[in-house]
């Protein structure tokens, strides 16, 4: 970006010069290039699965350190309660009432669906995706290299991503054989040599090294701790990990040992990324996000044993808080105040405009998201939260939810009675106060119609 253009942009978004000072080296020094952006997206990791969110039975020291060095959000929400629509919201800036992908059916993104990668690529960023995609099958309009990513390595199909030892992965638009992995039945490998989370860690490190001299966006999307549903049905092992260490001696069911080991393994990968940024001199000019695509699953592991939903009701596939409220950590040394905690409510569809503002670019018109950069920099009092946050889900009937201020409204099934919970004193959603608030019932009923557009793939009935 030309120096004068970046200076004009920064001046436009300053809060009396505060943001200008935060994003510049000094009044006399050279301005920084736009920050590198790394977004780490775990798969089915619950709000309570990190030590910094209350987990006590297994360890996540690197992510806990990330929270200590950065910002921990208490009220951040996934785009949906399952992976594909949640990722669609993250990539396109729309909530599920307007997003093209609203469920896990194999529906690809369209050419007109602008992604955060396309926005950042236009701003001069190198863009890479390592891990799981789920928004376009081979030879469709939705594959990553046709949606703004210069480089892609991983799984296209979310069911294929169940297998941690697959026979192949995709590199850009080419299928790559993984020697040493052999599948018997689909999704169930009989020979297991290459563990994809470890391979993804290496690919992510390589991307960072190769692009260290220019602004880059890395979407790092490992599949931990998602279960292998196919292997679970075959031999009862849903949580695939090379070793259950360091939890081998714990008095837990084997699947729980595996789950804990998987999450600690992911924590170790995060630690390696932070160390690499330091070694390359990129730490101060790289903003890192860490979160999960939805709440914890029960496909091979019991979310109740580790209290994976934290204090909340529900799990994956629920629109109660446990299904959609997720951990969100953001770290940017020198810009984000260490050890801060924010209750500011936001959701995945806010990431695209936030990334655009970080890059000095402009998000697409008409999206649902808003930039939360001011919140990241400690100025949440200057940004008005969304009037409402909206979700819909299409498995097992049509479900809807909306958060209006501190009120959470849920319609758990088509034409079911509306439920209302006051999250300020009932975050576990145990006391339905709808009978006491007819005005909110009316407001929510209106939003359940007006906050969505009809989609032939996802009918609102």
Q: Is the pLDDT of residue 16 over 90?
A: no
pLDDT digits (tens, 9 = 90+) for 64-98: 999 999 999 999 999 999 999 999 999 999 999 99
The predicted pLDDT at position 29 comes to 40
- For the chain, give the percent of residues with pLDDT over 90: 91
DSSP bridge pairs for 191: 182
Mean pLDDT, range 338-354, rounded to an integer: 98
Report the mean per-residue pLDDT for the chain.
93
Using 50, 70 and 90 to split pLDDT, how confident is the model at 23?
low
pLDDT score for 415:
83
Distance of alpha carbon 108 from alpha carbon 105, whole angstroms: 9
Whole-number Cα distances in Å, 458 to 101, 117, 444 = 8, 25, 20
The pLDDT, as a whole number, for residue 327 is 98
Rounded CA-CA distance 166/100 in Å is 29
Q: What pLDDT was estimated at residue 396?
A: 87
Within its chain, how far is the Cα of 318 from the centroid? Answer: 17
Report pLDDT digits (tens) over 236-253: 999 999 999 999 999 999
The predicted pLDDT at position 377 comes to 97
Average pLDDT over residues 325-332: 98
Q: Once rounded to an integer, what is the mean pLDDT over residues 438-461?
A: 94
Please give the CATH architecture assigned to the domain spanning 390-450.
2-Layer Sandwich (3.30)
How does pLDDT run across 191-231, given as a tens digit for each residue? Answer: 999 999 999 999 999 999 999 999 999 999 999 999 999 99
Question: At 24, is the pLDDT very low, low, confident or very high (cuts 50, 70, 90)?
Answer: very low
Extents of the domains making up the chain: 1-28, 33-387, 390-450
pTM, rounded to two decimals? 0.94
Q: Specify the pLDDT at position 460.
A: 86
Judged by DSSP in three states, 297 sits in coil
DSSP labels, 181-240: -EESSTT-EEE----HHHHHHHHHHHHHHHTTTS-EEEEEE--TT---HHHHHHHS--S-
On the question of pLDDT at 1 being above 70, the answer is no
Measured in whole angstroms, the distance separating CA 372 from the mean position of its chain's CA atoms is: 15
pLDDT band per the 50, 70, 90 thresholds, residue 31: low
Q: Answer whether residue 51 shows pLDDT above 60.
A: yes
% of the chain residues with pLDDT over 70: 93
Tens digits of residue pLDDT in 389-441: 999 999 989 999 999 999 999 999 888 899 999 999 999 999 999 999 999 99
pLDDT at 15 over 80: no
13 pLDDT more than 80:
no
Q: Are strands 174-177 and 182-183 parallel, antiparallel or unpaired?
A: unpaired
Helix axes 351-359, 83-92, angle to 10 degrees: 30
44 to each of 104, 239, 289, 403, how far by Cα in Å? 14, 12, 16, 22
In contact, 302 and 257? CB cutoff 8 Å? no
Rounded distance, CA 136 to CA 109, Å? 6
Query: Would residue 24 be called left, alpha or beta, if left means φ above 0 and alpha means ψ between -120 and 50 degrees?
Result: beta
In this structure, which CATH number among 3.60.21.10, 2.60.40.420, 3.40.720.10, 3.20.20.70 belongs to the domain 33-387? 3.40.720.10
pLDDT tens-place string over residues 146-178: 999 999 999 999 999 999 999 999 999 999 999
**pLDDT for 56:** 98
């Amino acid at each position: 970006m030309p120096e004068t253009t970046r200076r004009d942009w920064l001046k436009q978004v300053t809060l009396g010069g505060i943001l200008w000072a935060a994003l510049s080296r000094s009044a006399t020094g050279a301005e920084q290039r736009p920050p590198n952006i790394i977004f780490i997206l775990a798969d089915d990791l619950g709000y309570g699965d990190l030590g910094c969110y209350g987990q006590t039975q297994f360890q996540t020291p690197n992510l806990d350190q990330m929270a200590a060095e950065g910002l921990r959000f208490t009220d951040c929400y996934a785009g949906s309660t399952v992976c594909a629509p949640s990722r669609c919201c993250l990539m396109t800036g729309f909530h599920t009432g307007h997003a093209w992908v609203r469920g896990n059916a194999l529906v690809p993104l369209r050419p007109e669906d602008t992604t955060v990668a396309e926005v950042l690529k236009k701003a001069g960023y190198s863009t890479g995706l390592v891990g799981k995609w789920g928004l376009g099958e081979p030879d469709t309009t939705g594959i990553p290299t046709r949606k703004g990513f210069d480089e892609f390595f991983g799984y296209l199909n979310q069911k294929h991503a169940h297998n941690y030892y697959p026979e192949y992965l995709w590199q850009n638009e080419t299928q790559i054989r993984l020697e040493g992995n052999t599948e018997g039945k689909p999704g169930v490998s009989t020979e297991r040599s290459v563990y994809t989370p470890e391979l993804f860690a290496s690919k992510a490190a390589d991307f960072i090294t190769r692009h260290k001299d220019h602004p880059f966006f890395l979407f790092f999307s490992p599949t931990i701790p998602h279960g292998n549903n196919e292997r679970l049905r075959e031999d009862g092992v849903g949580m695939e990990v090379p070793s259950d260490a360091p939890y081998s001696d714990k008095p837990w069911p084997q699947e729980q040992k595996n789950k804990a080991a998987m999450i600690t393994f992911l924590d170790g990968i995060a630690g390696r990324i932070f160390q690499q940024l330091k070694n390359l001199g990129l730490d101060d000019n790289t903003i890192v996000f860490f979160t999960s695509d939805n709440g914890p699953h029960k496909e091979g592991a019991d979310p109740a044993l580790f209290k994976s939903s934290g204090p909340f009701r529900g799990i994956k596939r629920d629109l109660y808080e446990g299904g959609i409220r997720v951990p969100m950590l953001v770290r940017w040394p020198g810009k984000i105040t260490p050890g801060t905690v924010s209750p500011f409510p936001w959701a995945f569809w806010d990431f695209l405009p936030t990334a655009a503002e970080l890059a000095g670019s402009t998000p697409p018109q008409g999206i649902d998201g808003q930039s939360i950069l001011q919140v990241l920099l400690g100025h949440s009092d200057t940004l008005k939260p969304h009037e409402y946050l909206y979700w819909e889900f299409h498995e097992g009937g049509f479900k809807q939810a909306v958060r209006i201020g501190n009120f959470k409204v849920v319609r758990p099934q088509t034409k079911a009675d509306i439920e209302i919970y006051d999250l300020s004193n009932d975050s576990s959603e145990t006391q339905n106060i709808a009978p006491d608030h007819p005005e909110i019932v009316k407001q929510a009923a209106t939003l359940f119609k007006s906050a969505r557009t009809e989609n032939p793939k996802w009918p609102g009935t």
